[in-house]
Structure 1
Amino acid sequence: MKNFILIVFIWIGACTSKKETVEIDLPFYNEETFTAEWIDEDDPRYEDIHTISDFEFVNQDGRVITNKTFDGKVYVANFFFTLCPTVCPKMEANLSLIQDEFQGNDQVKILSHTVMPWADSVARLKEYAFQNEINSDQWYLVTGKQEEIYKMGRLDYFADEGFGKGVTDLDDFLHTENIVLVDQERRIRGIYNGTLKLEMRRMIADIKYLLGK
């Protein structure tokens, strides 16, 4: 009996050791269906992985924010508007968890694009940031030309669940609950439901994974 117990302990220890050595990798997302793809560096497809295009917007401090602002950094991107009464407040509250988790870490940023630039001026974004305790050094609320924001949302971040289905015009109102995780090379590595706090835990783990690579 003692020998049997000893064997069981050895087997459990071996299984635990194996689990600890498993390395979880994040997929890439290359198109609007958000089909996960694991692509090795020696794969011919690696050089063609989808990347976020160059951009230029203005944040709540009147500062110009471009793709260069995020060079070598991990960031999460979403789309919102300050007058939104339902989904956006949930997303803001959940993104605050990301801000708190990585407070003071210059390698992690948050990029929130307004989908109502005609209403969300720089001054309005500044007020919204103050009301929600948003740190402008880490979390950028940006505005700009509607056509540029909508094009980025749909063609770069694949942010509109309806695009290509019921929505076919780039000018149609952009709406999504998705938050997108972008790595240091401007590639999409994670998609999360921004209304669910549980999804933020997964995002935090994925960000830490990217920071450790």
Structure 2
Amino acid sequence: MPKSIIFITITLCYLTACQKPTLSTLPVYNEPNFNPLWLPTSALNSDTIHRIAPFVLRDQLGDTLSNQDLDGKIYVANFFFSVCPSICPKMTNNLQLIQESFADDPGVKLLSHTVMPWVDSVAQLRDYGERMHINPKQWHLLTGSRAEIYQLARQSYFAEEEIGYNRDSTEFLHTEHVLLVDGKRRLRGIYNGTLPLDMERLRDDIWALKEESSRRF
């Protein structure tokens, strides 16, 4: 077969059936080992993709927040407690970068779940939010039952990875992990909330997710 015919055949193959599918901008995470899965964008809506379980919690204003309120929104989740003397204030300060970067974007939210709901009442969270310059319209400090928060953290967000997945609410939860969730409740990123460079990476990944969602797959 002449070389010109071979070249044309290969080119047509690439442009049609042989062309590789477009991969998603960011991976998805289906298991607490946090092995990334890079999938074609057409596969992201599969029922086999892990999603954050439904929840209903209260924020620092006393308003209820559920997973339904976040449909279609990108959000960042982490776990803290207001009387934490070291790691939690550092994470909160670092997450200010995300609050400032998306201050005028109603499609991006932050959710900080207390791991000491028996201490962190609505009033306590409101005081903490004011002290840490948190905008309650964008950044929700959440409280509720210990059992619900701990199950959500360990089995939905994989907040303690594999080591914590099967722990129950009798074992204290404390993690520096920050999680990125897309508009369809899929886990798309994990970051160390104590590292400013990781927060910069998180900011960039949110922009990547916004671009990805604009393609409407």
Give the structure-2-normalised TM-score.
Answer: 0.83
* 1:158-199, Cα deviation, whole Å (9 max, x unpaired): 0024315xx733431011110000001100000000000000
Q: CA deviation at 1:83?
A: 0.5
Structure-2 residue corresponding to 1:171: 170
Asked if 1:58 corresponds to 2:58, the answer is: yes
Are the equivalent residues in 1 in contact too, given 2:181–2:187 (CA < 8 A)?
yes
What is the letter of the counterpart of residue 183 of structure 2?
Q
Are the equivalent residues in 2 in contact too, given 1:60–1:136 (CA < 8 A)?
yes
Are the equivalent residues in 1 in contact too, given 2:23–2:39 (CA < 8 A)?
no
Structure-1 residue corresponding to 2:12: none
Asked if 1:81 corresponds to 2:81, the answer is: yes
Asked if 1:207 corresponds to 2:206, the answer is: yes
Structure-2 residue corresponding to 1:197: 196
Cα-Cα RMSD: 1.9
Paired with 1:31 and 1:195, the residues of 2 have a C-alpha distance of 23
Are the equivalent residues in 2 in contact too, given 1:117–1:146 (CA < 8 A)?
yes
Unaligned runs of 5+ in 1: 1-21
Q: CA deviation at 1:68?
A: 1.2
Q: What is the 5 A alignment of 1:38-49?
A: 38-43=38-43, 46-49=46-49
Give every structure 1 segment of 4 or more consecutive aligned residues whose post-TM-superposition deviation is greater than 4 Å.
41-45
Are the equivalent residues in 1 in contact too, given 2:24–2:41 (CA < 8 A)?
no
Paired with 2:23 and 2:53, the residues of 1 have a C-alpha distance of 30
What is the letter of the counterpart of residue 173 of structure 1?
F
Are the equivalent residues in 1 in contact too, given 2:146–2:169 (CA < 8 A)?
no
Q: CA deviation at 1:92?
A: 0.2
Structure-1 residue corresponding to 2:149: 149
Q: CA deviation at 1:47?
A: 2.6
Residues 185 and 95 from structure 1, CA distance in 2 versus in 1: closer, same or farther, beyond 3 angstroms? same
Are the equivalent residues in 2 in contact too, given 1:59–1:143 (CA < 8 A)?
yes
Give the structure-1-normalised TM-score.
Answer: 0.85
Paired with 2:44 and 2:54, the residues of 1 have a C-alpha distance of 24
Q: CA deviation at 1:206?
A: 0.4
Are the equivalent residues in 2 in contact too, given 1:51–1:187 (CA < 8 A)?
yes
